[in-house]
Chains A and B, each alone.
Chain A
Amino acid sequence: MTFEPRHPVADPSQKQTFRHRLSGLSDRTIAWIFVAPSIALLLAINIFPLIWTIRLSLTNFRTNRPYAPVKWVGLQNYRDVLSDVGVWHSMLATAHFLFWTLFFQVLIGFTLAYLINKKFRGNDLWTTIIVLPMMLSPAVVGNFWTFLYQPQIGLFNYFIAFFTGIDPSSFSMIGDVSLAPWAIVIVDTWMWTPFVMLICLAGLRAIPESIYEAAECDRASRWRQFWTITIPMVLPFLMLAVLFRGIENFKMFDLVVQLTGGGPGDTTQLTSINLKREAFEKWHTGYASAYAVILFVTVFGLASIYVKALNKVKDR
């Protein structure tokens, strides 16, 4: 064993290597230093709360009674949630909302992308204008839509009246049980169609010109080209758009809460709104936690199955 001077200050080259050692950490160490803070933050603010939710879901804890004795109730909360008519009603409202928003957004979004891809003059400018609603705060915009939906004075009702001749004060989009589910579909479609449009546009622009030229040589009709080239080539993009919109709309809260608040009655009470009421108005914390876990498992499960299907389409 040899002893070296502890403070080799006198030797400048030695100092250099010391500094080098400080900043020249091994790649492996740097990788961990760089990744660790992100993982730590996500563990603290996402995973830890999730585990806590699971724990709470097995108890009868109530947030507004923090000192009441907490009882372990096992899976009782899950049984209660799944046998609750209100929950199933919310699931149904969510399914209606999901299906029709996706339907309209895919239909209109794809059509718009197809038209924009005709490359008319100024298409960039108009694309940017169409995209605007998507980036705005859903709560603020949703709140303003309640003004547009006012019977008599609302711009939306005025438009409908103008084109159909119906009395503008004779219907209330957000006050009528049969119209409210469509009121939220309309605003969500208005807001998010550009999202589907942008993704479809990327898909359309990625189709190589040569494929159409080859089809033209084979004398395939335009109609046939559309169904055998355009649609299959855009499908993976379209499915990706549906995945994103599906997850987002399954979680939908801000826009609808501001528009209808779940009403009238509970007609537009989507699962997130129902969950919020259970958790933060009725303070059924244990029950709401079980509800939250069920929702998370549902969205995660559906998304996983869907991604598998998406990959199959992509590999084709």
Chain B
Amino acid sequence: MSGYSISEPSARQKWIAGALVVGYAILTVLPLIWIIATGFKTPNDAIAYPPKVIFHPTLEGYVNLFTSRARATPDMLEKLGPPTTWYDTIVRQYDMIITGPSRYGQRFLNSVIIGFGSTFLSVFLGTIAAYAFSRFKVPLKDDLMFFILSTRMMPPIAVAIPIFLMYRALGLNDTQLGMILLYTAVNLSLSVWLLKGFIDEIPVEYEEAALIDGYTRFQAFWKVVLPQAATGIASTSIFCLIFAWNEYAFATLLTSGTAQTAPPFIPTIIGVAGKDWPAVAAGATLFLIPVMVFTILLRKHLLRGITFGAVRK
């Protein structure tokens, strides 16, 4: 059997494996494509039977997502004159007028503020804690590390009751600060565990050399360790951001108005007659696309992030 290698599957095997995987991939990505496509349909196209694959794209869903509208009487429309903007034109087809912006922008902004705020805090706290766990003799180190991990096992609803009471007493209910603190605490386990793995991989010799050169511990940490850990810190940040971005259970229980994030809001978008699926799809698309981009950027560190650093590859 010349030229036979075990590591190299035969061309036929590769072809079959490739076809099966590509088939699965197409099937699995179909719902996502459907979300994006539905966002560009008219409400009638969205609920057509058989499902419409070819359709005239329209921005109706996006206009409906960002505006609140009201039905206008014919003479009222006449008084207003012809529509002045392209989004006016879309709305007028249905004898409606735009009465103002919808709440989606505000909810999206909340997601951004809470996401970035909690990510910054949890990665900052996680980095220094991970450095200490990695380099110093911390008493009860293993117990503390396990304690930090175990906080992740609690069902969110189980701790939500006292947090709800506590936040109500402190005035943190439905505030951005309250949500930032909460998500920071939830993400801390991930950031400490991941970052400890990344810092463990940086050779101690670098710091020792710096310390001998007269650097203080802080300086060595700041000027030697941090730059080395930059990739790890970046990917940990993205994981924390994605978690905070996607979180729903706490958000739906602890926020209702001013601090509500997008996940509890998007499913509540309704149109004039029942659910406005194109608007929901448009809202979902705008909300999901950033995560898809991040996932593609992160693909090398994905495994590490989802297993809390247990599998490093």
Q: Which A residues contact B (CB, under 8 angstroms)? A: 20, 23-25, 27-28, 30-35, 37-39, 41-42, 44-50, 52-53, 56, 63, 108, 112, 115-116, 118-124, 126-141, 143-145, 147-148, 150, 152-153, 155, 158, 168, 190, 193-195, 198-199, 201-202, 205-206, 209, 212-213, 216, 237, 240, 244, 247, 250-251, 253-254, 257-258, 271-272, 275-276, 279-280, 285, 288-289, 292-293, 295-296, 299-300, 303
Contacts and interface: CB of A to CB of B under 8 A. Distances in A.
A23 B219 contact: yes
B63 interface: no
A123 B34 CA distance: 24
B254 to A, nearest CB: 10
Nearest to B50: A158
Given A38-B148, A112-B24, A202 B303 contact: yes
A155 B31 contact: yes
A140 B263 contact: yes
B214 to A, nearest CB: 9
B157 A276 contact: yes
Interface stretch (B11-19, B66-74, B78-86, B91-99): B11-19
Nearest to A190: B28
Interface string B221-259: 000000000000000000000100110110011000000
B87 interface: no
Given A27-B217, A296-B153, A279 B160 contact: yes
A139 B263 contact: yes
Given A38-B192, A118-B9, A133-B28, A31 B136 contact: yes
Contacts of A44: 185
B209 interface: no
A275 B155 CA distance: 10
A153 B154 contact: no
A135 B253 contact: no
Report the contact-size class of chain B (Cβ under 8 Å from the partner). Answer: 35 or more
Contacts of A63: 161, 164-165
Contacts of A152: 49
B55 to A, nearest CB: 14
Nearest to B152: A247
B144 interface: yes
A161 B160 CA distance: 42
Given A137-B245, A139-B263, A144 B31 contact: yes
Given A34-B129, A137-B248, A292-B161, A120 B14 contact: yes
Given A34-B132, A123-B18, A199 B25 contact: no
B13 A118 contact: yes
Residue of A47, A48, A120, A250 with highest tally of chain B CB at under 10 A: A120
B303 A132 contact: no
B229 to A, nearest CB: 14
B3 interface: no
Contacts of A303: 153
Contacts of A141: 31, 35, 284, 288
B136 A27 contact: yes
Contacts of B8: 119
Interface in B145-163: 147-148, 150-151, 153-163
A244 B149 CA distance: 12
A145 B15 CA distance: 32
A232 to B, nearest CB: 17
Contacts of A292: 155, 157-159, 161
B276 to A, nearest CB: 11
Contact of B31 (A38, A190, A288, A296): A190
A257 B113 CA distance: 25
B42 to A, nearest CB: 14
A130 B24 contact: yes
